[in-house]
Structure 1
Amino acid sequence: MTTDGPPAAQNPAGLRERKKLATRQALSWAALRLAQERGLEHVRIEDIAAEAGVSPRTFNNYFANKYEAIVSRHVDRVRQSAGALRERPAAEPLWDAVRHVALAPFATADSSPDPQWTAGVRLLLAEPALQGELMKAGADANRAFAAAVAERTGTDADRDVYPNLVAAAVLAAQQVASDRWLHTEPPVALLPLVREALDLLLAGLPDPTGG
């Protein structure tokens, strides 16, 4: 029997951070779901806040606008992967660790999606305002993952090519898999696509023709 106290008593700051992350994720998911159902132009901040069970003021504490809320899911996922990479065993080969943390966020994406959902998301991603926010989010995500790679490899994310190239390659593999997931008919599960993309990358992208 353990004598440790409850997690909240041991680390109140950690509990607060988890609660903040849960609120952030709930708002982001609500924004995405409402935009997919109604169309981006028909979704207000008040609607997102109500869907997530918080006030509009709380929404504004987390996000500047609805576009940022939608794309934050991507940035948060990469930041979590970066944190997980820092916690992998030091003796583990880099690319084994990278594959593990890059796959982990998709572990539950092992079933085919609703075709109406993917169709709605495709229309949503065609919105110019959202595309601009996605570019900003992609840059933030790349920096976060590159910093974790740099720490693990003893390189400098501000000066060295290597950690930035690793981050860009891994995030590109995830993006290609997500694009295939959104456009494949009939719909397929996302996890196998991400796994295939990462495995091809880790294998050095061998020529599929055998040449």
Structure 2
Amino acid sequence: MTEPGLRERKKRDTRAALARATLELAIEHGFAAVTVEQVAARAGVSYRTFFNYFSGKEEALLRPEEEHPAFGPRLRAQDGALPPLEASRRALREQLSALDDDEAGWRQRLTVIAAAPELLPRLMELGAASERDMAEAVAERTGLDADRDLYPALLAAVLGGAMRISLTRWHATGEARPLAALFDEAVDVLAAGLPAPTS
């Protein structure tokens, strides 16, 4: 894999500076009080430059980094002999491992999100889009129809739920284990058929 050129590195650095400024200002003043003008000024760029990278402050908070490889390519890269659940788990674990790489930043970000109910519609929108992408990728892998067959959408919804629960637990309890490990635990329970807990 070739190293990114100077222009690409500058673009990546600018995006990171804008995302960092958004998070810092949200921590200092509350997300609702943050403006794009403030974010741009904190990052040292123009107001117009902000919109070369993000559609708004919500995206700068919720999607701070360049898009990771989509779920579909990650799923296609998995061993074809793996069952769909295990292949999907491995594909999603890669995404969660990237969050673990910026553990402190994501813990702060989740604290801001928890205190900003106005972000809920955007979070739901992003979650629905993500589950749709997962369902289409699972349908491709299994030869099913994402719109007509139950399995792809159901697997995507279950995995989306496991990711949300893992994130919530990781943040709320200050869990020391990597986020990917919590996700693995959740998928193990699902793979076992969601057995009743034993005392």
Q: Give the TM-score category using the shorter length.
A: 0.7 to 0.9
TM-score (norm 1): 0.72
How big is the alpha-carbon RMSD for the aligned residues of Structure 1 and Structure 2?
3.7
Do the aligned residues in 1 keep the contact of 2:18 with 2:39 (CA within 8 Å)? yes
State which of 20, 27, 39 in structure 2 corresponds to 1:36: 27
Moved over 6 A (4+): 18-23
The equivalent of 1:174 in structure 2 is: 163
Contact 2:61 2:109 in 1 (8 A): no
Q: Corresponding residue for 1:121?
A: 110
> What does 1:11-160 correspond to in 2, within 5 Å?
27-28=18-19, 30-49=21-40, 54-72=45-63, 76=67, 80-107=70-97, 118=107, 121-160=110-149
CA gap 1:110/1:68 in 2 versus in 1, 3 angstroms: closer
**Counterparts of 2:20 and 2:130, CA distance in 1:** 18
User: Contact 2:26–2:112 at 8 Å: present in 1 too?
Assistant: no
Question: Which of 199, 203, 208 is the aligned partner of 2:192?
Answer: 203
Spell out, residue by residue over 1:146-187, the C-alpha distance to the aligned partner (whole angstroms, 9 max, x if none).
111111111121222211111111110011011111211x54
Quote the Cα distance in structure 1 between the aligned partners of 2:131 and 2:99.
22
For residue 188 of structure 1, what is the aligned residue in structure 2?
176
Report the more deviating stretch, 201-210 or 151-160: 201-210
Q: Are the equivalent residues in 2 in contact too, given 1:88–1:97 (CA < 8 A)?
A: yes
Letter aligned with residue 157 of structure 2: A
Q: Does the aligned pair in 2 maintain the 1:31–1:48 contact within 8 Å? A: yes
Q: Deviations over 1:15-73 (max 9, x none)?
A: 97x99788666644543343234321332223434555654323323433211332235
Distance 1:153 1:54, change over 3 A: farther
Aligned residues: 196
8 Å CA contact 1:75–1:140 kept in 2: the answer is no
Q: Which 5+ residue runs of structure 1 have no aligned equivalent?
A: 1-5
SS at match of 2:51: helix
- Residues 44 and 66 of structure 1 are in contact (CA less than 8 Å); yes or no, is this contact kept in structure 2? yes
1:71–1:120: structure 2 CA closer, same or farther, 3 Å change rule?
closer
